Amino acid sequence: MNKFMFFVPMTMATLFFACSSSPSDEPETPPLSKQIPINLNIGCNLYEQQNISTRIMDTYFEPNDAIGLYVASGSGFASTGNYINNVRFLYTSSAIWQPDTELYWKDETTASDFYAYYPYSSEITDATALDFQIKVDQSAVENYKQSDFVWGRTMSVQPTEKAVSIQTRHLMSNLVIEILPGNGFTQEKLDAANVKVKVDGLQTAAQINLSDGALTANGETATLYPYYINRQYKLLTVPQTTSAPATITVTVDGSNFKLQKSLSTQSGHRYTLPITVNKTSNGINVNIDDWIDDGIDNGGVAE
């Protein structure tokens, strides 16, 4: 920050008074209050163990991603009326979080609590009851990414010119369906086949409290279509325990097989469902294995 010195002309009377006064009689001038700009450094926990370098694989932010920031200074988080309410920060190509408007700390001494979430929404009326909806058709990568929701907070930060670090975590669940070759199939034949996957019976909406990341699934169920990449069908879903079994339909070259499975998923967890496809005398048979949870709890909060 550049510093400038300003010289203000004084009247002769003032000059005379100053010259005639003793040092003990001079009034003390309080220091000017310094505005400290707010800078951010946002990280994101992983859904999975592998080190993958793009947010398409759920690990990093990409240029033009936008988060919303709330800051509570001197008081707790409120549904509205915080010191900073839902200001958009854009992730630039130079890996910097740029706010729409310049933000400053409340003062030089008051500690503040920072809350960040992705994706940004300008239509939040109650930050303790944000409505979020995943995309039902996630077969396009943009829809898959827009179905993600990450949240994080950093508490009791003293005013600083350094970037405030906020570690976010995924609030959605990551469902990964793998189609494996069984009797009568090779991986090459399966790769060449017309394979489609859809999931029915899951709620697609959630209400999220941005003060603590608490989430409640709600709304109607829908048919969900996953994103295919690297022989995996990936689906971001609202964490929930199904009241009735979900239905997973695998279509191989026009032949359908429906599988019913009760689901109970948690925020930030990745669940892998391997499905083995077998050719039989009657056509195609599909066997389903148990869920495989990677055993990693990605639910930590930076405080």
pLDDT, residue 46, reads 63
From residue 14, alpha-carbon distances to 11, 19, 31 in Å are 5, 9, 21
Q: Which residue range is the domain that position 84 belongs to?
A: 40-125+149-170
pLDDT surpassing 50 at residue 300: no
Q: What percent of the chain has pLDDT over 90?
A: 57
* CA-closest candidate to residue 232, choices 184, 280, 279, 179: 179
Domain assignment of residue 26, yes or no: no
Q: Are residue 283 and residue 193 in the same domain, yes or no? A: yes
Whether 238 shows a pLDDT value over 60: the answer reads yes
Q: Is residue 91 part of a domain?
A: yes
Asked if the structure places residue 144 within a domain, the reply is no
* Inside any domain, residue 192: yes
Pick the residue with more confidence: 55 or 58?
Answer: 58
What's the CATH code of the domain at 46? 2.60.40.2620
Among the listed residues 128, 122, 117, the one whose alpha carbon sits nearest the alpha carbon of residue 301: 117
Mean pLDDT of 242-260: 88
Within a domain: 274: yes
Please name the residues in contact with 94: beta carbons below 8 A apart, sequence gap of 6 or more.
Answer: none
Answer yes or no: do 69 and 160 share one domain.
yes
Query: d(Cα 237, Cα 214) in Å, to the nearest integer?
Result: 15
**Same domain, yes or no: 114 and 228:** no
Task: Based on the fold, state whether residues 57 and 84 are members of the same structural domain.
Answer: yes
- Per-residue pLDDT, averaged over 22-37, amounts to 57
Last residue of a domain, one of 170, 202, 226: 170
| Whether residue 202 has pLDDT greater than 70 | yes
For residue 81, the model assigns a pLDDT of: 92
> pLDDT band at 58, cuts 50/70/90?
low
Q: What is the mean pLDDT of the chain?
A: 80
Question: Would you state the pLDDT for residue 93?
Answer: 85
Using one digit for the tens of pLDDT, what is the confidence trace for 100-110? 999 999 999 99
pLDDT for 149: 95
43-57 pLDDT, tens digit each: 877 654 333 333 444
| Co-location of 166 and 177 in the same domain | no
Give the predicted TM-score (pTM) of the model.
0.78
Q: How far is CA 215 from CA 9, 115, 160, 199, 227, in A?
A: 62, 15, 32, 22, 24
Asked which of 170, 205, 236 is the last residue of a domain, the reply is: 170
In a shared domain, residues 87 and 190: no
Number of domains composing the chain = 2
Sign of the C-alpha dihedral, residues 231, 237, 239, 240? negative
Query: Is 132 contained in some domain?
Result: no
**279 and 208, same structural domain?**
yes
Q: Give me the pLDDT at residue 57, please.
A: 45
291 vs 113: which has the higher pLDDT: 113
Q: Mean of the pLDDT values across residues 229-242? A: 95
Q: Same domain for 154 and 218?
A: no
| pLDDT (average), residues 239-244 | 93
Is residue 46 exposed (0-12), middle (13-18) or buried (19+ Cβ within 10 Å)?
buried
Residues 251 and 158 in one domain: no
**Same domain assignment for residues 161 and 69:** yes
- Check whether 99 has a pLDDT greater than 50: yes
CATH no. for residue 214?
A: 2.60.40.2630
Whether 92 and 188 map to the same domain: the answer is: no
The count of other CB atoms within 10 Å of the CB of residue 288 is: 16
- 26 vs 74, which has greater pLDDT? 74
Q: Are residues 112 and 177 in the same domain?
A: no
Q: For residue range 119-143, what is the model confidence (pLDDT) as tens digits?
A: 999 999 999 999 999 999 999 999 9
Report yes or no on 138 lying in a domain.
no
Decide if 49 is inside a domain. yes
